[in-house]
Amino acid sequence: MNTWLDRAVFYEIYPQSFNDTNDDGIGDIPGIIEKLDYIKELGCNALWLNPCFVSPFGDAGYDVADYCQVAPRYGTNDDLVRLFDECHKRGMHVLLDLVPGHTSIEHPWFKESCRADENECTGRYVWNDNVWAPMDVKGINGVLRGISERNGAVGVNFFAFQPALNYGFAEIDQPWQSAVDSPEALATRQAMKDVMAFWLERGCDGFRVDMAGSLVKNDPGQEATIALWQDMRAYLDEHYPEAVLISEWGEPDKTIRAGFHMDFLLQFGTSHYMDLFRRPERSTAEPRPFFSRKGKGDASEFVATYKRNLDLTDGKGLMCIPSGNHDMERLRRYLDPEEMKMAFAFILSMPGCPFIYYGDEIGMRHLDVKSVEGGYMRTGARTPMQWDDGVNHGFSGAAADKLYIAQDPAPDAPTVAAEMADEHSLWREVQRLIAMRQANPALATEGAIEFVYCEKDAYPLVYLRSERGSDGAPKAGGQRVLVALNPADRQVTCPCPYEADEVLYTLGKEAAVCDGVLTMPGASAVFMTVR
């Protein structure tokens, strides 16, 4: 584990929506550099940048046309290197978004692969050998036909303009499918190693890896995909041992074994992450987030899954919990700023690195806006940052109708300036919580966790964080912090086998432990060291 990760609090930046310095209505890398001191003042010490590379932007940059060139609308490669340098001067680190599973149809590799004459990119993508033939492959979400002089159809990962790169097939059932150790599959793997090396040489600290579990096709147990990433990690360990990898996979028992430092809790799959803050993806049921003061939520399935993942990884689950991201509705859609304070008390006291999505720290709303660059409903979570009450909330000097996405038109739209000026704001609460996390070793990324109380359809949620020793077990004599959260707007009680020593943090009215019972007022939280 890189030592800086154990204290890392990430800030996710959607580059086109953060800060525009050339008044074209789109955020840029100089704009990020301009706001680094703001991010550091909040308490975040690491950045995750969504893709900032050359792209036709059919999927907001996740359709890469050149992995090694910054898109001109964001600046230059030199600007990105300067961002790395400026972050490092401030004791901060930067992860780029690596999209290894597919490219844009505009990528030179894909254009070469479309030629009938055999060349070094003929096997770079998942092509079959007959334009009329179907492609029934797990992990392929459609095909493109009739677009090339070669006879074949190419599989796509998501949108029609995102052809899948070829890392081979774990189970081969067609003559056109490549083995994972075939020359063409290994060439694709090497090409992605070269991309990582290009940016690591220039000061990048590592990568958040998009769709990390999807690379090898027909891989039902994902063992071949795990082996692929083990090879990638071995390459990094040899040449760039400090490079960090964090996966978008959602199965830490696989990702930790594959060589990733951490995994993400996802808005899809089986994590029950959405039970906490929103409602399950694509569900039409009444939202009942656990962190709503209505007190109708349930955290038990989330906790059960979390504990299962801890068991599967010998306590090293290291699942990063984000406040949100560019692919899901804003937290503010389901929770008001006071409820969000409680949600952040949870996010910033759990193991793994917390991730704060830009604007969540001020309670930016999810907007109902037209789809931009393939965002669809996600577009409402990608609106420009609201810095102050100036033109375009300080995001850009462009005309309002030239902004990349329209901003919140409400007269009470939250801004950084207003939040920072209010000692009782959400921003200030997030800042205090980050500072408390950094000051208490039990709350560090790799600290142990034990769930003390979590029952179905019940409140509160109580867990014990403990310092870990060098052997991975709770450290003898180390700090222990009991975290108790009662989002419900009613008093609740639960058994508590610990005696309070020092109260580190409270939200709302004070809780009390007496005769083995924890009593919590409505909408309250407490962190306390225990004996």
Interval 345-373 mean pLDDT = 97
* Residue 177 in domain: no
pLDDT given for residue 1 in this prediction = 57
| Cα–Cα distance, 214 to 170 (Å, whole number) | 12
Structure tokens at 320: 């990063």
Count how many Cα atoms sit within 13 Å of the Cα of residue 126 in the half-sphere of its side chain. 35
Report field, pTM of the whole predicted structure over 0.85: yes
Residue 300 reports pLDDT greater than 60: yes
Helix (H) or strand (E) holding 500: strand 500-507
Phi and psi at residue 288, to the nearest 5°: -135, 65
Q: Does pLDDT of 328 surpass 90? A: yes
179 lies in some domain = no
461-510: pLDDT as tens digits: 999 999 988 777 788 889 999 999 999 999 999 999 998 899 999 999 99
Percent of the chain with pLDDT over 90: 90
pLDDT average, residue stretch 64-79: 98
pLDDT surpassing 70 at residue 281: no
For residues 343 and 414, state if they share a domain. yes
Tokens of 338: 């006071």
Which amino acid would we find at residue 440?
A: N
> Which domain-ending residue is among 436, 466, 501?
436
Q: Do 396 and 261 share a domain, yes or no?
A: yes
- d(CA 387, CA 390) in angstroms, rounded, equals 8
**pLDDT given for residue 279 in this prediction:** 80
Predicted local distance difference test score (pLDDT) of residue 334: 96
180 domain residue, yes or no: no
For 78-95, write each residue's pLDDT tens digit: 999 999 999 999 999 999
Residues 191 and 135 in one domain: no
Split into its structural domains, the chain has a count of 3
CATH of the domain at 141: 3.90.400.10
The amino acid that residue 378 corresponds to is R
Other beta carbons less than 10 A from residue 343's beta carbon:
23
CB 449 within 8 A of CB 423: no
Mean pLDDT of 356-381: 97
Give me the sign of the Cα torsion angle 172, 176, 177, 178: positive
Query: Mean per-residue pLDDT for 422-443?
Result: 97
- For residues 419 and 473, membership in a common domain is answered with no
Same domain for 493 and 410: no
Q: 116 and 237, same structural domain?
A: no
d(CA 338, CA 340): 5
Same domain, 365 and 492: no
| Neighbouring residues of 113: CB distance < 8 A, sequence distance ≥ 6 | 119, 121, 122, 123, 124, 125, 127, 148, 150, 154, 163
Nearest to 270 by CA among 296, 306, 297, 216: 306
Residue 319: per-residue pLDDT: 87
Residue with tokens 């990063």: 320
Yes or no: say if 73 and 193 are a contact pair by the CB < 8 Å rule.
Answer: no
Question: What 3-state DSSP class applies to 517?
Answer: strand
Rounded to whole angstroms, the Cα distance separating 467 from 447 reads: 5
pLDDT of 153-208, one tens digit each?
999 999 999 999 999 999 999 999 999 999 999 999 999 999 999 999 999 999 99
129 close to 155: Cβ distance less than 8 angstroms? no
- How many CA atoms lie within 13 Å of 179's alpha carbon, on the beta-carbon side? 3
CATH number at residue 461: 2.60.40.1180
pLDDT (tens digit per residue) in 22-61: 999 999 999 999 999 999 999 999 999 999 999 999 999 9
Does 516 lie in the same domain as 373? no
User: Is residue 22 packed enough to be buried (19+ CB in 10 Å), middle (13-18) or exposed (0-12)?
Assistant: middle
Domain annotation covers residue 173: no
In a domain, 521, yes or no: yes
- Closest by CA to 365, choosing from 398, 406, 396, is 406
Phi, psi torsion values for 93, nearest 5 degrees: -130, 160
Q: Are 481 and 358 in a shared domain?
A: no
Classify each residue of 311-336 as buried b or exposed e, where b means 16 or more C-beta atoms within 10 Å of its C-beta.
Answer: ebbebbbbbbbbbbbbbbbbbbbbbe
Residue 287: which residues within 8 A CB-CB, separation 6 or more? 278, 279, 334
Q: What share of the chain is helix, strand, coil (3-state, %, to 5)?
A: 30, 20, 50
Section 356-374 average pLDDT: 97
Q: What share of the chain has pLDDT > 70, as a percent?
A: 99
Phi, psi for residue 40 in degrees, rounded to 5: -65, -35
- Last residue in a domain, options 436, 467, 492: 436
The token pair at 31 is 């704009």
For residues 363 and 454, membership in a common domain is answered with: no
Supply the mean pLDDT for the chain. Answer: 95
Angle formed by the axes of helices 337-347 and 426-439, nearest 10°: 10
SS3 5: helix
Which of 175-184, 238-247, 275-284, 517-526 has the weakest average pLDDT?
Answer: 275-284
* 421 backbone dihedrals φ, ψ, rounded to 5°: -85, -10
Instruction: Note whether residue 181 is domain-resident.
Output: no
The residue from 393, 412, 436 where one domain ends is: 436
357 shares its domain with 290: yes
Alpha carbons 166 and 190: distance in angstroms, whole number: 12
Six-digit token string for 15: 């580059």
Q: Are 520 and 492 in contact (CB under 8 A)?
A: yes
Q: pLDDT by residue (tens digit) across 227-237? A: 999 999 999 99
pLDDT given for residue 460 in this prediction:
98
Average the pLDDT over 422-434 and give the result: 98
CATH number, domain with residue 245: 3.20.20.80
Task: State how far the Cα of 410 lies from the Cα of 366, in Å rounded to an integer.
Answer: 12
Same-domain check for residues 85 and 140 = no
Question: Quick check: 372 pLDDT over 70?
Answer: yes
Residue 521 belongs to what domain range?
A: 447-530
Containing H/E element for 94? strand 93-98
**Per-residue model confidence as pLDDT tens digits over 221-274:** 999 999 999 999 999 999 999 999 999 999 999 999 999 999 988 777 778 999
pLDDT band at 282 (very low <50, low <70, confident <90, very high): low
* Phi and psi angles of residue 252, each rounded to the nearest 5 degrees, phi first: -60, -25
Residue 174 lies in a domain: no
Task: For residue 251, give Cα distances in angstroms to 32, 75, 159, 270, 446.
Answer: 32, 36, 24, 9, 18
Q: Is residue 365 part of a domain?
A: yes
